[in-house]
Structure 1
């Protein structure tokens, strides 16, 4: 028998390739499982307090902040939203604010819903001071007229560069910045005749640098906290022109506080990774 150089290493190399393939497949399956688990997780409730020097007998006020619900299959059918509404009601908020992007038209969806089908579950929200929403980019892209009409049928007020009194709070709602519709100056002008602490509700956090110093509290969504994040923190993309600066959580600058929610649903791809759905519970009270 003629011995060929390296012949004894061939079985070892085959085993090595098979082992590498098995490890790769295991990692892929593990990441897929992790992604689906993160996507479908019960939303975590993140609590934060905002103190104010403006005293009122009606403070503190508990605000439930929802954003980026993106009703669509497979991850956010209306039935799942109904469960989230029950979770919100159990928190007993005084006011519910929705920071845009109720609907979805993503191509990767297994099922799309009309604005009416997507928003109808919100009619079950219970909040003494009401439910208020601002438009997001996907709401405009689908059909803002249909979205606004569906909000109205569900008992949700929509603010687009306008403001309203909600109990002891002045709520200023900015239209979507991502599609170039935000008019912060007009919005703040509409709030000048109102009383109490000012809450600015916006879909995108990117208006935050333009908010005048010492204005108060800004509540936003849009970024999904990256939706797909690195396990050590941060994310490859944020859909914000400021990168990671306002991408997630609480930011304090110039006497203002920004809360950027990670949202509830998904965009572009129907899964999350290392980011969980969020409900923020913001308590606005006297210092």
Structure 2
């Protein structure tokens, strides 16, 4: 009898953990908050909303509704670091972000904005980063996603001289591109790189003449900017090195899902890139910069579990340095 009870208990624990990770925790959405003293002296505080890895599927109504209500946080600027799709449902994703498109923002794309996820053995993530093999033509409507996020004519651009964008809607596309926004009187220079997980980043090292051996022609920042922010989807070490060498104050990324399945009191087993597993989410210093990695909101439909890793967005409050 005692052995049967022990056996039943041994089965009950993983069963309960499985139910929690598959049914309950994926709906326990959280707002991770950080205060960063990186603004110039005397500047007004800025609320920066970071959204990543939505991975939305048509049946995920609760996740869609929660994200749609994020306007309640009243951000001053929005940063979207990609992987919005899990199926070809661009109109649904644009509807989810509709209210936030009224807020100035920037965005980069992740691999799942180009390519739909494919079934694979989840254990393969423990051996090495996932791969998008032999797929060169997107099977998702990424062009419609870009147009929808920009939500403006190509001839309209954000002003760099005032607090109000010249277009009242839309975000700036930052894959291997730059943008400047004036937010509450502070000039923020954004510099983006494409998703290094699928080799879409376009890092251009300098020839070193007069700029030092670690300088880059791209990414780059204007020295006159009040705050310099690097944005990319996946935090591979080469992108972090390029941004911090260019002088980024803050680097914002996603991709890792925070490990997605974390071991209590130990952390994430993997990051799905070459970054150390202890840096799968959150805020940490990286040489001269701060790095903020969002654990994101979703997962692949073929790995529909989160455990000890609640789905999240980040709300960063930028304040003057001390």
Q: Which residue of 1 aligns with 2:230?
A: 200
Q: Which residue of 2 aligns with 1:150?
A: 145
Aligned equivalents of 2:304 and 2:100: distance in 1?
25
Larger radius of gyration: 1
Runs of 4+ in 1 over 4 A off after TM superposition: none
Cα contact 1:50–1:217 (8 A) shared by 2: no
Tell me whether 1:118 sits opposite 2:93 in the alignment: yes
Q: Which residue of 2 aligns with 1:188?
A: 219
Cα 1:96/1:243, change in 2 over 3 Å: same
Q: Which residue of 2 aligns with 1:275?
A: 309
222-231 vs 32-41, which moves further: 32-41
Q: Which of the numbers 169, 173, 192 marks the counterpart of 1:173? A: 192
Q: Which residue of 2 aligns with 1:37?
A: 24
The CA deviation at 1:203 is: 0.6
Q: Which runs of 5+ in 2 are unaligned?
A: 117-137, 152-170, 205-216
Q: Which runs of 5+ in 1 are unaligned?
A: 1-14, 105-111
The CA deviation at 1:172 is: 1.3
The CA deviation at 1:187 is: 4.7
Q: Which residue of 1 aligns with 2:72?
A: 90
Mapping for residues 74-89 of structure 1, pairs under 5 Å: 77-78=60-61, 80-86=63-69, 88-89=70-71
Q: Which of the numbers 87, 109, 114 marks the counterpart of 1:135? A: 109
RMSD: 2.4
Aligned equivalents of 2:146 and 2:71: distance in 1?
18
226-235 vs 146-155, which moves further: 146-155
* Count of matched residue positions in the alignment of Structure 1 and Structure 2: 259
Aligned equivalents of 2:254 and 2:286: distance in 1?
18
Q: Secondary structure at the match of 2:71?
A: helix
276-285 vs 194-203, which moves further: 194-203
Query: Can you list the C-alpha shifts for 1:24-44, whole angstroms capped at 9, x where unaligned?
Result: 331133112321221111x21
Query: Can you list the C-alpha shifts for 1:179-217, whole angstroms capped at 9, x where unaligned?
Result: 01112446524x438733111111111121333344210
Cα 1:145/1:21, change in 2 over 3 Å: closer
Cα contact 1:169–1:198 (8 A) shared by 2: yes
Q: TM-score, normalised by structure 2?
A: 0.73
247-256 vs 138-147, which moves further: 138-147
- More helix, by proportion: 1
Q: Secondary structure at the match of 1:283?
A: strand
Q: Secondary structure at the match of 1:45?
A: strand
Q: TM-score, normalised by structure 1?
A: 0.81
Aligned equivalents of 1:159 and 1:247: distance in 2?
23
Q: Which of the numbers 44, 47, 50 marks the counterpart of 1:62? A: 47
Aligned equivalents of 2:74 and 2:287: distance in 1?
32
